[in-house]
Chain A
Amino acid sequence: MKMTKIYEGSHQWIMFGRDENKPDNIVDSNQYVVRTANRCLLLDPGGSELFAPMMAAVLHHAPVEQITDLFASHQDPDVISSLGLWDQALSDAKLHAPAIWEGFLRHFGCESIEYVPIPDNGGTIKLESLELQLVPAHYLHSSGNFHVYDPQARILMSGDVGAALEGPGAPVFVDNFDAHVEKMRYFHQRWMPSNQAKRAWIERVRNLDIDILAPQHGRMFKGDDVKRFLDWFDALQVGIAV
């Protein structure tokens, strides 16, 4: 599992992904960790196949007992089917996830972890002195969907928005936006169901000061590529399967 530190200040952001040992027939995914002095938040911690390499990778940065919070942007198995394993590994942790998915996500096993339902209009996650914003991203692609914005690090973890399905060898940052567009086009047109939802999200996100846009699959966007992505997504027609 590749580990890339993408922010270091009063706290850290670390991106995990490009697992060369993952089974071939499951999609590669990016997991993110926000580390403060004594706590650790895992963003979209991944599928059950990924639990062992992910846990092993996190142990380079934090002890198990300091993994206090999990966040699931939505209910997909590549996002959170490892929940039942984290549930047995962590003794005192919370899962922040969309309120509408609670009864569904509990199928993965959630006995000891406290489910903190995120209402439709969003909320915050407090990690010691750090406050992260939960930005509504409903219907992008899931009907109950949130992204995480860190105003200090100026990072937006954007779930499936900005995603591209690539192989484990792909770089972690977009280096040529124009060439990258074709890797994203079909995914966004086919997985994202609503132009209206897309426009509402873009309007909301344009008001945020973002240095890094960090999707759950593929490469991250930094600097000017964030604006390029928003412009490209704004112009894209989605929901093409109907």
Chain B
Amino acid sequence: MTNQTKSQFIAVASITSELSAVMVVAKEISLAAANAKAIAFRAGDKAKGFQPITDFINELAKETIELVTSINVHALSLYRLTVNEYRRTGAYNRFELATKMAEGAVYAQSMQEPLEHARLSMLDCQRQFKRDVAQLLGQLEAVMHHARAARVIAANSRIEASQAGEYLQSLQAVAESVDKAAHTIHDNVQRCRIALSLYRNT
């Protein structure tokens, strides 16, 4: 197995790992939203501006979870494609070697068809891999967009929390947890994108 193939396997496998961490964090945001909603309800008029924000937070967490679930399916398919590409590249290399070793054999020419077929299959896998990587990068960009939106919501939450009197601390804690979660999602997804972007144009 070449170093590039090893890196490709590691990159694809690491996406699943990074995304499972994103999923945990997104669920935490969803919990924070439920918590914020309860606090805002208790605070009544003092947290009037905070109440619609909790719905935004919840919606954002729900969408992130859905998106990550869909990306995981694509990441699994990308992993299978990586295995397939590895097998087809291996076969092509062995067929090429067999063809060279068979020079002078009566039936050496008959190897040309499987060799060409293996070459086309390998190229087809490589093209499909690049297409799928580009698609996955697009989906990861959508998660980044959600993370950025979550940070804006966290900033707004802090402002609204400052109007909430004795509920200030509780609501600020909610805003902090949303901000922290958004950072984590951003960093994890960014790592996925860096790992994958190496293969977009190779």
A60 is contacted by which of B88, B97, B105, B117 (Cβ under 8 Å)? B105
Cβ-based interface call for A52 (8 A): yes
Cα distance A90–B117 when bound, in Å?
11
Give the distance in Å from the alpha carbon of A63 to the alpha carbon of B111 in the complex: 8
In the assembled complex, A100 has its CB within 8 A of some CB on chain B: no
Q: Is B107's CB under 8 angstroms from A64's CB?
A: yes
One of B90, B101, B109 near A56 (C-beta < 8 A): B101
Complexed CA–CA distance, A151 and B91 (Å): 36
Chain A interface mostly helix, strand, loop or mixed?
A: helix
What does the 1/0 interface line of A62-92 toward B look like (CB < 8 Å)? 1111000000000000000000110011110
Interface flag for B87 (CB, 8 Å): yes
Do the beta carbons of B114 and A88 come within 8 Å of each other?
A: yes
Are B101 and A52 within 8 A (Cβ)?
yes
Given A52-B98, A55-B98, A56-B101, residue A84 in contact with residue B107 (CB < 8 A) = no
| Count of chain B residues with a beta carbon within 8 Å of a chain A beta carbon | 23
Partner among A55, A56, A84 whose Cβ is within 8 Å of the Cβ of B87: A84
Query: Known contacts A51-B94, A52-B97, A53-B101; is A88 also within 8 Å of B107 by CB?
Result: no
Cβ of B108 under 8 Å from chain A:
yes
> Does A109 lie at the interface of the complex (its beta carbon under 8 Å from any beta carbon of B)?
yes
Q: In residues 62-119 of chain B, which contact A (Cβ within 8 Å)?
A: 87-88, 90-91, 94-95, 97-99, 101-102, 105-111, 113-114, 117-118
Measured between beta carbons, the chain B residues less than 8 angstroms from A59 are: 98, 102, 105-108, 110-111
Instruction: Please state if B110 and A65 are interface contacts (CB–CB under 8 Å).
Output: yes
Chain B residues within an 8 Å CB radius of A63: 107, 109-110
Give Cα distance in the complex from A84 to B84, angstroms.
11
Chain A hits for B102, CB < 8 A: 55-56, 59-60
CB-CB under 8 A for A56 and B98, given A85-B91, A88-B114, A89-B91? yes
B139 within 8 A of A: no
Indicate if B121 sits at the interface (CB-CB under 8 A). Answer: yes
* Residues on A with beta carbons closer than 8 Å to the beta carbon of B87: 84, 88, 109
* A84 nearest CB across to chain B (Å): 6
Instruction: For the complex formed, measure the closest distance between the CB of B29 and the CB atoms of chain A, giving whole angstroms.
Output: 41
Count how many pairs of residues, one from A and one from B, have CB atoms less than 8 Å apart in the complex.
67
Q: Using a Cβ–Cβ cut-off of 8 Å, how many residues does chain A contribute to the interface with B?
A: 20
Is the beta-carbon distance between A88 and B88 smaller than 8 angstroms?
yes
A64 and B114 contacting across the interface, CB-CB below 8 Å: yes
Which of B91, B101, B108 makes the CB contact (< 8 A) with A88? Answer: B91
Q: How far, in angstroms, from A210 to B89 measured CA to CA in the complex?
A: 43
* Minimum distance in angstroms from A102 CB to a CB of chain B: 19
Please give, as numbers and ranges, the residues of chain B lying within 8 Å of A91 by CB-CB distance. 114
Task: Compute how far the CA of A53 lies from the CA of B110 in the bound complex, rounded to whole angstroms.
Answer: 15
B18 to chain A, nearest CB (A): 28
Query: Across the interface, do A52 and B107 meet the contact criterion of CB distance under 8 Å?
Result: no
Q: Are A55 and B91 in touch, CB under 8 angstroms? A: no
B155-192 vs A, CB cutoff 8 Å, 1 = contact: the mask equals 00000000000000000000000000000000000000
Write out the residue numbers on chain B whose beta carbons fall within 8 Å of the beta carbon of A56. 98-99, 101-102, 105
Q: In the assembled complex, which residues on chain A have CB atoms less than 8 Å from the CB atom of B114?
A: 64, 88-91
Listed in ascending order, the chain B residues whose CB lies under 8 Å from chain A are 87-88, 90-91, 94-95, 97-99, 101-102, 105-111, 113-114, 117-118, 121
Question: Which of A's residues lie within 8 Å of B, judged by CB?
Answer: 48, 51-53, 55-56, 59-65, 84-85, 88-91, 109
